[in-house]
Amino acid sequence: MKNIYLILGLLLLITACDNDLDQLPPKQLESSSLTDYNGVLNAAYHYQTGTPTPLAIMGDFRADNMLMDEEPYPAFDRFNADLAGGDLVEQFFRPFYSNLYKSILSANNVIDNSTNGTEVAEARFLRGLSYLKLVMVFGDVTVNLSPAPDVTDQSILTRRPAAEVYDNVIIPDFQAAISGLDNSGLASGRASQIAARGFLGKVYMHRSNFSAAATELAAVISSAAGEGISLEPDFANVVIDESSEIIFATQVSTSVPDVYTVGTEYPGWFSGGDTKSLTPLDPDLTAAFDAVANDTLVGGDLRRALTIDEATSAGVKYTGGQEQDFIELRLSDVILMYAEALNETGSSAAEVLGLLDDIRTRAGLTVLDPLTINTTTLVRQAIADERRLELAFEGHRWFDLVRTGTVDAEMGETINSNYHLFPIPNSEILASGGVITQNPGY
């Protein structure tokens, strides 16, 4: 159900000055005059709709799943300063950056002022999620935990180390959300305890704290069935809005336009619906499907035809058009991360590979043999290969490569680590008087 966005939420936070961190509610809506923060919380949710298209483009077009055709967009496939070009920044990085800070500011207002514990826990979830996305994309970022930052103090704009943001903001926010939420929000697309736990597990994966990750992800898997979350029997249904796999999705509805207003939405990019990339399929992804062609039970990986169209060289995974929700976390993603965490902490190949059985049999593939795939390295690669095919076009691939340190090996070239991150929008740097600095290489 797409029922979490109220028009009131869109009116509560209006741009007040050039830098997005500096945005404050209008005077008549200062925190001291509000008693109901539900509208502010809805605004925090709504600003998340500015992130699916940029995140999907960064996750798959930067990696070896998708390609751009028309300049300057092929800069996604070049690892140099070209990606910081004006058109690209304004279409992808600027809306991603600015809307996440608007979501953060909305969340801060709720956290500091609401007396409703559930509202505060939801706001902590959204703030943690916002900073997780920012750190994954930009690395070190500006941190604001105040609903009314002192805009005269430019030093607050200084970027904080990513490790510090993880440890002091993201992890505590998800932990607070776990403590303050139940799972009643699942049916309506709101934050939930199980989603907070899943994202916390993902955070620990990014921090290479595999033991902690395994604990959180195991808890998600063990409680999933009781919350009505299960693997879809048919892969064709894994990304539909009614999928039983969804743990958290950013909801999109034409009845309440999203805040990404600068071009084609992500389903159109993957399907070749934008002139800048009419044939976006990277042959390397086709080759990845070819690599499992002989490991099948029923004539091929069933995910292949439901993911790519080789005749048009495009993606066919999304069919929901402008009503297509963006799945941020689903059960198979959690299972694959859990398998990876167990492998990295010394579990046997048989135990780890067994977790992939249901995902592979649904795809029409044979299960993996732990007598053949019998080392940590081989199991690691098997999980990475499975993640690529299972989660293609869901915005994970590039961030998985960076997280696992396999960028060069999988991309087939030596890439300067500066380009593991993306460029900070230049407008933010200028508005801060240079206090916010650009990532090296851009």
DSSP letters for 178-214: HHH--STTGGGT---HHHHHHHHHHHHHHTT-HHHHH
Is 80 exceeded by the pLDDT of residue 248?
yes
Region 255-284: mean pLDDT is: 94
Quick one: angle between helices 283-290 and 376-390, nearest 10? Answer: 120
Residue 441 in domain: no
* Model confidence, pTM: 0.93
Is 60 exceeded by the pLDDT of residue 4?
no
Q: How many domains does the chain have?
A: 1
Q: If you ran DSSP here, which 8-state letter would residue 168 be given?
A: I
In the Cβ-directed half-sphere of 390, how many Cα atoms lie within 13 Å? 30
Residue 428 in domain: no
- Confidence grade of residue 283 (pLDDT, cut at 50, 70, 90): very high
- Helix H or strand E encompassing 105: helix 94-113
Region 272-286: mean pLDDT is: 97
Which segment of 235-249, 274-288, 314-328 scores lowest on mean pLDDT?
314-328
Phi–psi pair at 328, nearest 5 degrees: -85, -30
356 contacts 386 by C-beta, under 8 angstroms? yes
- Confidence grade of residue 34 (pLDDT, cut at 50, 70, 90): low
Q: Strand, helix or coil at 265?
A: coil
Residue 404 in domain: yes
Residue 190 in domain: yes
Region 354-364: mean pLDDT is: 97
Q: Strand, helix or coil at 160?
A: strand
Is 80 exceeded by the pLDDT of residue 5?
no
C-alpha span between 321 and 280 (Å, rounded): 17
- In angstroms, what CA-CA distances link 258 with 5, 113, 190? 10, 26, 16
Q: If you ran DSSP here, which 8-state letter would residue 326 be given?
A: E
pLDDT, position 20: 53
Region 195-209: mean pLDDT is: 98
Count, residues in the chain:
442
100-146: pLDDT as tens digits: 999 999 999 999 999 999 999 999 999 999 999 999 999 999 999 99
Q: What is the mean pLDDT of the chain?
A: 91
- Helix H or strand E encompassing 217: helix 210-224
98 contacts 50 by C-beta, under 8 angstroms? yes
pLDDT, position 1: 41
Q: What CATH number does residue 12 fall under?
A: 1.25.40.390
Return the higher-pLDDT residue of 248 and 29. Answer: 248
Residue 435 in domain: no
Residue 13 in domain: yes
pLDDT, position 14: 34
2 contacts 251 by C-beta, under 8 angstroms? yes
Residue 426 in domain: no
Region 193-212: mean pLDDT is: 98
- Domain enclosing residue 235, as ranges: 7-421
pLDDT, position 322: 78
Structure token digits, residue 226: 């009781």
Residue 427 in domain: no
Region 195-201: mean pLDDT is: 98
Structure token digits, residue 305: 């035809």
